[in-house]
Amino acid sequence: MTLLAADPPEQAADGVRVHYAELIDFTTAVFAAHGVPRARAHAAARALCHGDLTGMESHGLANLTRLYLPLFAEGRVEPRADPRVLADRGAAVLLDAGRALGLWSAGAAMDLAADRAESYGIGMVSVRGATHFGCAGHHALRAVERGMIGLVAANCGGQRIARPPGGAVPMLGTNPLSVAAPAGPHPPFVLDMSTTAAPTGRVRRAAREGRTVPAGLLADDAGRAVTDPAEFDAGRAHLLWLGGAAGQYKGFGLGLAVEVLAALVAGAGLGPLGETGRDDDIGFVTVAIAPDTLHDRTPADAAALFGALLDCPPAEPGEPVRYPGWHEHERARERMRDGVPLGRDLYGELYEVAVRTGVAVPEQR
């Protein structure tokens, strides 16, 4: 075990780097210690550490103490729940997750969707009674590993964060959406976005780090732009939809489309109707499409499509064009090699969790 106190001060101030494998072992052990069966705990650990590995830290280990461990503590997640099949139409399956850990169940749902896509060309697994699944893109990528296209969307159960345009009270969650596709020799395409202008994790992270956020993410009751992220949790600013002050009717529509596809189809909790306002009874959907069951052109077409985008003449010399998923893939490659950077505060949190849970502290490199 390496304690923070033993670090040279300059390293501690910057944070530390930890082997990815160490981080997975640690996170697996924490979930297992909370009653999650080992193989599921490992899948959940991979999903959670995906955020830190790829640079989407707002959805990474920072959420262990803020989101997931409180779910266990409050009995809002059922560590050993087996999702139950409520309906099976071949290409479409409806599951009740029974509050299983979403970090695991979303991957399992995508695997099932991909199995069905092998037979039917497309497979959809709709899930109700779910809990927070972390980065949507991690689960969408499971389809890409099988040469398929993956789509993942979730609502936030009964949680209400964002207001309809022209509305005075929040009605929907940040409703994430991911679409991932193979790109031949290039990094996979992975769109992984909240349908709000930013996810709450990004706003809270900026607040913790004392940074401002760009205009277009937050507004006050009078509709004026707010750039101090601390105003969000203080209740003096609300999150806008994608498109910002001018174009957010489309972003709101996308958020509602996710509410429909992820929660209305599954029969899960719906934002405007939740009684607790909490992210319980989340609905999500995983869809896999297997283009090679339809024709054999996709691998070459995908390589050409994403290759052409990377070759697009840049507006600024030396700043090449990229697509969603490219930077995350490169970061993951670097961090697999050089270790995953963890801020000093985050490492301290994980250390506390390790001590409290009785598992090994992740070793620094």
Residues 99-138 touching a second copy, rule: CB under 8 A, are: 119-124, 126
* Site track for a second copy across 24-63, x = CB under 8 A: ----------------------------------------
| SS3 assignment, position 8 | coil
Q: How far is the CB of 81 from a second copy (least distance, A)?
A: 19
- Selected range binding a second copy among 23-31, 46-54, 76-84, 168-176, rule: CB under 8 A: 168-176
- The yes or no reply on residue 220 touching a second copy (CB under 8 A) is no
Least distance CB 289 / a second copy (angstroms):
6
Element (H, E) at 285: strand 282-289
Give yes or no for residue 309 binding a second copy (CB under 8 A).
yes
Which stretch in 14-22, 65-73, 90-98, 350-358 sits in contact with a second copy by CB under 8 A? 90-98
167 lies in the binding site for a second copy (CB under 8 A): yes
DSSP letter string, 74-119: TT-S-TTPPPEEEEE-SSEEEEE-TT--HHHHHHHHHHHHHHHHHH
Q: CA 154 from chain center: how many Å?
A: 10
225 touching a second copy, by CB under 8 A? no
Short-list 113, 26, 41, CA closest to 77: 41
Instruction: Figure out which of the listed residues 38, 66, 297, 333 binds a second copy, where binding follows CB under 8 A.
Output: 297
Does the footprint of a second copy cover residue 12 (CB under 8 A)? no
93 vs 43, 117, 154, 259, 354, CA distance in Å? 21, 12, 16, 18, 38
Q: Binders of a second copy among 249-278, rule CB under 8 A? A: 249-254, 256-257, 259-261, 264-267, 270, 272-273
Find the binder of a second copy among 243, 339, 341, 343 (CB under 8 A).
243
By CB under 8 A, residue 173 contacts a second copy: no
In the complex, least distance from residue 193 CB atom to a second copy, rounded to whole angstroms: 5
Using CA atoms, how far apart are residues 361 and 180, in angstroms rounded to an integer?
A: 33
- Choice between 10 and 319, CB closer to a second copy: 319
The answer to whether residues 232 and 207 touch, using CB atoms and an 8 Å cutoff, is yes
Q: Does 154 bind a second copy (CB under 8 A)?
A: no
**Cα distance between residue 137 and residue 152, in whole Å:** 7
Question: Edge to edge, what strands does the sheet with 92-96 contain?
Answer: 84-88, 92-96, 122-130, 282-289, 149-154, 177-181, 189-193
Name the one range near a second copy by CB under 8 A: 4-12, 51-59, 288-296, 347-355.
288-296
**Cα–Cα distance, 19 to 351 (Å, whole number):** 15
Whole-angstrom distance, CA of residue 97 vs CA of residue 114: 18
